Amino acid sequence: MLRTFHKHKKKTKLRILPVESRRSELTKLALALNLGAGGRRIGTLQEKRAVRKGLKRIAANLFSKQSIKDDYAFHSGGLSELQFNIGFEEGAVFRHGVAFSLQPTRYTPDISTFAPRIRRFNEFLQTYPEAYADFSMWYFERGTRSDNFAPMLIPDTLFRPHIFIMLGKVYPEDKIKLELILNDFDRLMPLYEYVEGHEPFPARLRDFLTGFVWSPGNVPRVECTRIERTGESVDTALRHNILQAAFYEHLLAIHGNGNVSGEQDCGNGTPVDVAVRTGERFCYYEIKTGLSARSCIRQAFGQLMEYAFWPGAQEAVEMVIVGEPPLDPDAEQYLNTIRRKFGLPLSYKQFDLEMGMLIEQRNPAARTKPGGT
């Protein structure tokens, strides 16, 4: 069932900045992205557009002089497509991702051309709901911005003129990383190709992946929202995001910069909540908000198996389920049985959000694995 929107929206306007300085910053970044796209999946965008549309000329770069505006830019030729977009927003923040601009223009006087694209966008997210779980969504309506919310299917209520819908990441201007943007653009290419093409549904996202790349740092997920799902609260998702940000900071204080990664892609297109690197070995932490250790273990077990062992994945030397409830004797016995019978390096740790730290458990085996705390 689709989520529905509250009528209330955050009344913020796009900030007014010196036009030339903002455009200059965007131009420099766009040129750097054009250079960095070479040899990447995102670097094939213009060639694929030309083949699909039967264009006689292939655009030279991802971004062009014409597609760079005062405080945002979209890929060359992308005005009537699911566009790759970068830009500055109010509050000294930067964004990157993909977007639908339902603004009538001479290229798209009738926004009905976006209807089949949005259907395909929704089909993709419905099939791969975790593909962009570390991203956020938001929209503008005539310059007024909504709050951020978790990635979701685009509802019919948003299909109207003068709406700009974005799937991507938002973070402080001083946190801009060229590699992060290019990595995310590569990840978004399967979505773009399905939305804009006529190819069959990509049954294997692995075909679009670039392999495991260690990416220390963290871009926290949205911690508040104006979105709710009919009959289902989003409090659990928001609690998870708050826990993820706090747990990342806890591990960062222990292991230091460069050794902790939030939303680390495991190499098979799936991001684990937090990963720790010790030399060439990796420990994966998956956070759950269940009301018991049993519930957390049940929810996380399959995900951790996929993160560590699915074809293309970087194998982990330890897999840790993190929850707020304590580890009870039955759950401890269950994990001991799994380790003994199957040799899986799986453990459970309790995290206290108020204290911002892990609570020591009775399980000594779970505390002596590489990469643990």
Per-residue pLDDT reduced to its tens digit, 160-190: 999 999 999 998 888 899 999 999 999 999 8
Residues 57 and 193 grouped into a single domain: yes
Q: Are residues 67 and 148 in the same domain?
A: yes
The answer to the question of residue 186 being in a domain is: yes
In a domain? residue 373: no
Q: Indicate the residue type of 245.
A: A
**230 forms bridges with which residues in the sheet?**
none
Whole-angstrom distance, CA of residue 98 vs CA of residue 116: 16
Does residue 213 form part of some domain? no
- Report yes or no on 216 lying in a domain: no
**Hey, what amino acid is at 117?**
R
Tell me the CB-side half-sphere exposure of residue 221, using CA atoms within 13 A: 25
pLDDT band, very low/low/confident/very high, at 57 (cuts 50, 70, 90): confident
Contact 261, 34 (CB under 8 A): no
Q: What is the CATH number of the domain that holds 346?
A: 3.40.1350
Top pLDDT among 28 and 91 is at: 28
Domain-terminating residue out of 173, 208, 243: 208
User: How far apart (Å, rounded) are the C-alpha atoms in residues 74 and 142?
Assistant: 18
Give me the pLDDT at residue 220, please: 61
Confidence of residue 237 (pLDDT cuts 50, 70, 90): low
Find, among 319, 214, 321, the residue nearest to 263 by Cα: 214
- For residue 219, tell me if it sits in a domain: no
Instruction: Please indicate, yes or no, whether residues 236 and 118 belong to a single structural domain of this protein.
Output: no
Asked if 110 and 232 sit in the same domain, the reply is: no
CA angle 134, 28, 163 (to 5 degrees): 50
Tokens 């590489």 locate to 370
Do residues 75 and 201 both lie within one domain? Answer: yes
Do 234 and 139 fall into the same domain? no
Structure-token pair, residue 145: 């911005």
226: pLDDT strictly greater than 60:
no
The verdict on residue 299 lying in a domain is yes
Are 109 and 203 in the same domain?
yes
Find residue 351's DSSP bridge partners.
Answer: 358
Domain end, chosen from 161, 181, 208, is at: 208
Tokens 């799902």, located at residue: 229
- Give yes or no: residues 134 and 60 share one domain: yes
Tens of pLDDT, residues 95-149: 999 999 998 887 778 899 999 999 999 999 887 777 888 899 999 998 899 999 9
Q: Is 188 exposed, middle or buried (0-12, 13-18, 19+ CB in 10 A)?
A: buried
pLDDT at 16: 44
CATH of the domain at 159: 3.30.930
Residue 306's Cα: distance from chain center in Å?
18
Cα 86 from Cα 63, distance rounded (Å): 10
The two tokens of residue 263 are: 């939303």
Range list of H helices, the chain = 19-36, 45-53, 115-127, 178-196, 235-255, 293-309, 329-342, 364-367
Dist. CA 162–CA 86, nearest whole Å: 19
Q: Please give the tally of structural domains in the chain.
A: 2
Residue 303, domain extent: 227-367
Confidence (pTM): 0.60
Q: For the purposes of burial, counting CB atoms within 10 Å of the CB of 26, is it exposed (0-12), middle (13-18) or buried (19 or more)?
A: buried
As a residue count, the chain comes to 373
The reply to whether 336 falls in a domain is yes
Q: Please, which pLDDT band fits residue 315 given cuts at 50, 70 and 90?
A: very high
Q: Assign residue 253 a region (left: φ > 0; alpha: ψ between -120 and 50; beta: otherwise).
A: alpha
The predicted-structure confidence for 247-286, as pLDDT tens digits, reads as follows 999 999 999 999 999 988 888 767 899 999 999 999 999 9
Inter-residue contact 169 to 36 (CB < 8 Å): no
Say whether both 177 and 242 belong to one domain: no
Q: Are residues 312 and 263 in the same domain?
A: yes
The answer to whether residues 169 and 257 belong to one domain is no
Amino acid letter, residue 103? Q
User: Exposure of 13 by Cβ count < 10 A (0-12 exposed, 13-18 middle, 19+ buried)?
Assistant: exposed
Residue 196 counted as domain residue: yes
Residues 78 and 106 occupy one common structural domain: yes
- Strand, coil or helix: 361: coil
The percent of the chain in helix, strand and coil, each rounded to the nearest 5, is 35, 25, 40
Of 174, 208, 242, the one marking the end of a domain is: 208
